Each structure stands twice: as structure tokens, then as C-alpha cells.
Amino acid sequence: MTAPGASSEVRASPGAVTPRPLLLSGNEAIARGAREAGVRVAAGYPGTPSTEILETLVRLDPGRQVYVEWSTNEKVGLDVALGAAIGGARALCAMKHVGLNVAADTFMTSAYTGVRAGLVVVSADDPGMHSSQNEQDNRVLVRFAGVPLLEPADSQEARDFTVHAFDLSERFDVPVVLRTTTRVSHARGIVAPGPLRVAPGLGFQRNPAKLVMLPGFARSRHRVMLERLEALEREAETSPLNRIEWGDRALGVVTSSIVYHYVRELVPGASVLRLGFSHPLPRALAREFAAGVERLIVVEELEPFLEEQLRALGLAVEGKAYFPRDGELGPEAIRRGFVRAGVIAEAGEKPLVSPPTVTRPPVLCPGCPHVAPYLALRQIGAVVSGDIGCYTLAAIEPLAAMDTTVAMGSSIGMAIGLARSGGATGPVVATIGDSTFLHAGLPALADAAYHRTRMTVLILDNGTTAMTGGQAHPAAGVTIRGDAAPTIDLPAVCRALGVEFVRVVDPYDLAQTQLALEQAAAFPGLSVIITNRPCVEAPVKVRDQPYTVLAEQCIACQYCMNLGCPSITWSAEWHEGRRKVQIDPVTCTGCTVCAQTCPTEAMVGLPGWSKPR
């Protein structure tokens, strides 16, 4: 596929430019919509399913008219975007759902300050937890903050609602949240685009009573926020994003997001209240709809968000009694719900499920520099406070070397608590990736240094944000646009925070890594070990001399299998009732770690191999 938008303009007649339809994912369509709305500043932190939004914005802007950055975390990203909007530039901030927790401090109060130029906050939720640590429904957070919420159901709406969101934001002087779900973000659809543009800057206007949230000023801004919500509700009543589709009056379904499409397929004849602008709830529209149908059912993914608000209006409404409150609400779950509700008959209906796919558990890549440190941590009997990144896979077999993982950056603070609990059964080690360390680990390391906590922090520095596809960060030496950038010196940062024991190790040297961890654990204070091998997949693919197994030397001890390396598989040969192993030379990256675990030196570099030029 061509880069979305990059070559989309075709000349229909001399002088006129008509953008032709594009096949876009929801995320690409949001980026497209932002460019069409004239976005000037975009910031955010990577996180599935939101990551492609900023990456597409960069591709759509070869002329660099938009300032785009990967921020150190979502709060910084929202601060950047809010500051830009207050400075008069239309701004976008993109993150996954849990990112809004990180940004929540700014988010809640941005509803008081307002924005001046349009500010759109994209929250990409992940029902079903395809790649997340929880499946919180951010509609609840948006309502809590008192800001408007738009929920596109497909790529065309992702583009349209983004454009609409910028206008709404500017008209009502409020950040607008555009909430997608994984299906909307990642499914592709045809989009009719408009022309790209850069909105004129509105300039900054000094107004401390609006922008400096001292209690005295904030009190009146809270009232402004509440009055604005009433105005927004009036807007939602007549918004084209909300509509009643009258059909059979025996059943009325209230729904939003992609679930709308599933409902339309399953009960095509029903009346539907479709909410694209779902907060504040257009209560008059909901009452009108309820009055026009005999039975009112809400079909919504995750929380009973609409259902409870409708019930609070005194309406006789059903919903979660039939539909699950957890997991993705796909067509089959909705069909079963309608069967339970007696809306459709079970008999004769084929289940709407795809043929089962073969389950492939996630694994660390061949040559992943995260493997050996966890093997070493197991050897020293550490209690490992883990974090979120590729390395979280070390929690599962065969490494099975991680004891806790909760939220990004939590490893260090939780290690402090584990160390202070007195209950740890071994040396306490926090393990954290470089991107996560910069995201939320730094303040916790300062805390550990400040209180002289006896523990070890292992920073797994692979030079990138690997888990989300290799995005840059402040220690990666590069920006989202690929420009060279200053690189944070991680050992120097740790020393500056007051850590006395700081050591850099090569994680491909198993013995050195284990020794360093043992010494760090023996140090009577706070110690930091930093690994220094780049990710084998990004930004460049690291491929060195592959290894092979000398079958006659393999005694089938299977130690190497503890690495969980996908390149090591069972061979057809046996030794004393156990299977020998072999190495796939195509996927082996030549990291040498398996050879270091082999007691008979049966693993050697593939003879006759030379690095292709």
C-alpha cells in the first residue's frame, strides 16, 4: 500500500485537486483527519493500538509543517499538546488507554483551562487485552473529566470525527477525546479524504484567571466546565454524529463504536440509537428514542456506561444482563446476548466465529539481549520486580524469572516496597527497559537513591522501544522523523541521581552478567546494572554468524532449552533416552548465549559462513 495520503491527490481538471479514496486503518484515518483539520503539533507515547497515528502523521508530512514528537510519556505528551493549543496551534495527543492514566493529572485540569486552538486527545482502548495490562473503559475517565467524547465506528468515521473533533474543541474551548478500540484502530476501510492543510495559528493570549489553576481561579473554572457540559449536551442532541435509525419499534438498541456495525448485521430490522458523540449523553434524544420503542436494550463493550446513565433517567433499560462486561464484544458474543434476551432464536443460527487458529504463544526473538540477564537472575535466586516491555515475556516458561508486573515504571517503586517488606526470599531486583525507565522509572530511582534502599535495578537498554515496534526515545539518539538527537547517558543519569554502584554489562556475556548481578546484590545499598546490546530487530536487524550443533557432541542435557530461544529446536537424534537439539541457521542471529550454556561445547559457529556484504 502506498503511504496513506502521500500520493492521494489526483488532478480531476486543470487547477482542481480531488483526493481519491484511500484504504486506511482507523489509526491512519485519524492521522489523515488531523492533517485535514490543520494540526500543527502532535505528541504522544507509543502503545498498541495507538502507535501508528503519529507514525502516519510523519509520513503525511514530508514538508515538515507539523511538529511531531514521541514524548517521554503520555503526561508529557499531553502537556506538550495542551501548551501548543493554548499557544494557538491545533494539537493532537495520541496514546493507548492506560496512557490516559499517566496523563490524567493534566487531563482532568485541562477541562478547566480549556484550549484556545483545537486539542484532540486520542485514547485507543483495547477491549480483549490483545496487548495490554488491563482493559479499562476510558469512556468512564472521559465522563469523570467532564469533556466531550467521540467514538468512531470505522475508518471513514475515524477521519470524519477527527476533523469534527478539532472544530468542536475550538468552538467549546475544551479538549475532545476521540476514543477508538483495537478493531477500529487496526481494521482497514475505504476513506473519502479531503485536502491536507495547516490551520492558521491563533496566537497566545495571556489570561491567568483561565490558565493558572490556583484554587481561587480554578473554582470559577470548575463552574465554567459544568456550564460548558450543559452546552455540550445541547450540541450532542442535534449532532449529526448521533442519530436515530427507526425500524421495527418492538426493539430499540442503543449502541456506539464498532458494536454499532455488529448490531446492524445481527438485528437489521431493529430501531437503533447510534451514539457517535456519546458524552455528554443527549438525554432528550435518548428519551425520545425510548418512548418510540417497546423494549430498550443497550449493547456496549465493557462497562455499562450508557446503560447506567439511561437507567438514571428512569428508563426501563436492559443490557449487561445479556452481554458480558469483560472482553471484546464481537459478533458472536452479541448474537449469544440477543439469544439470551429472546430477541433472536438460537435454532438455525450458525455461530459467528472464525475457524480456530493455531495458538502461538509469544516468545522473545532469537538473539534477544534480554534473555541471558533473566537466566542469571534465576541463578542468583532474585525476587524480580518486573515491568512492561518485551522482557515481560521472561515471566513465562522457560525463563520464568519475573515475580511481579503491574504498570509501566512500577518495577522500581515496587522493588523498594518488596525490599522494605522484609519478606523477600532473595535479593530484590527491579528489571526495566530503557524506554520504560525514561517513561516512569526515573522518579522511582530517585526515591530509591534518596532513601538508600538496598536493592538492584537492572536497566535493559536495547536502544529502542521494542515492544511497540521500535519507536525512538530520549536515549535512542534519534527522533520520530529519523533526525539525529542528543542521547541521554543512562549511567551518568543514575550517578547524578545518587546511585553509587553503576555498572554496564554485555548481556551476551552470560558469566559477566551473572557476576555483575551477584556483586550488585552483595552491595550494601542501591546498585544499577545497565545492559548494552541493541535490539536484534530495530532499528537495524542484527544478524551475525549463525550457530550450529555438533550432533556427536550433544549429550541432550537440554540446558540450552532454558533460554527459550526459538532458533533451538528438537533434533531427530537421541542420547540416552533424551532428544538432542539443533539450531535453525536461518533464524539464529549468532548471539552465542546458547554456546555459553553448553557443557560439552557442542554449539559452534556455522563453518564456512561469512557476513554477506
Q: Rule CB under 6 A: which residues touch ligand TPP?
A: 45-47, 96, 98-99, 102, 133, 388-391, 408, 433-436, 460, 462, 464-468
Minimum gap (Å) between residue 46 Cβ and ligand TPP: 5
Minimum gap (Å) between residue 437 Cβ and ligand TPP: 7
Q: Which is nearer to ligand TPP, 382 or 393 (CB)?
A: 393
Q: Which is nearer to ligand TPP, 201 or 470 (CB)?
A: 470
Between the alpha carbon of residue 591 and those of residues 95, 204, 530, 544, the distances in Å are: 34, 54, 18, 7
Alpha helices in 155-214 (DSSP H): 155-172, 182-186, 208-211
- Alpha carbon of residue 261 to chain centroid: 24
String of DSSP letters for 452-497: T--EEEEEE--SSBTTTT-B--TTTTB-TTS-B-----HHHHHHHT
Minimum gap (Å) between residue 448 Cβ and ligand TPP: 18
Angle of helix 215-238 relative to helix 104-113, nearest 10 degrees, comes to 80
Minimum gap (Å) between residue 436 Cβ and ligand TPP: 3
Question: CA Rg, the chain, in Å?
Answer: 27
List % helix, strand, coil for the chain (3-state, nearest 5).
35, 20, 45
Alpha helices in 192-268 (DSSP H): 208-211, 215-238, 259-266
C-alpha cell at 45: 507515547
Q: Which is nearer to ligand TPP, 155 or 436 (CB)?
A: 436
C-alpha cell at 382: 532474585
Q: Which is nearer to ligand TPP, 162 or 435 (CB)?
A: 435
526-531: strand order across its sheet: 383-385, 428-433, 455-460, 526-531, 501-505
Q: Which is nearer to ligand TPP, 148 or 433 (CB)?
A: 433
Q: Which is nearer to ligand TPP, 388 or 560 (CB)?
A: 388
Minimum gap (Å) between residue 527 Cβ and ligand TPP: 20
Minimum gap (Å) between residue 370 Cβ and ligand TPP: 6
Q: Which is nearer to ligand TPP, 297 or 466 (CB)?
A: 466
Q: Which residue is closest to ligand TPP by CB?
A: 433
Minimum gap (Å) between residue 137 Cβ and ligand TPP: 16
Q: Which is nearer to ligand TPP, 417 or 534 (CB)?
A: 534
Minimum gap (Å) between residue 259 Cβ and ligand TPP: 24
Between the alpha carbon of residue 322 and those of residues 257, 373, 585, 598, the distances in Å are: 19, 48, 52, 56
Q: Which is nearer to ligand TPP, 334 or 466 (CB)?
A: 466
Region of residue 570 (left: phi > 0; alpha: psi -120 to 50; beta: else)? beta
Q: Does the N-terminal peptide bond of residue 62 adopt cis geometry, omega within 30 degrees of 0?
A: no
Minimum gap (Å) between residue 549 Cβ and ligand TPP: 28
CA atoms within 13 A on the CB side of 76: 12
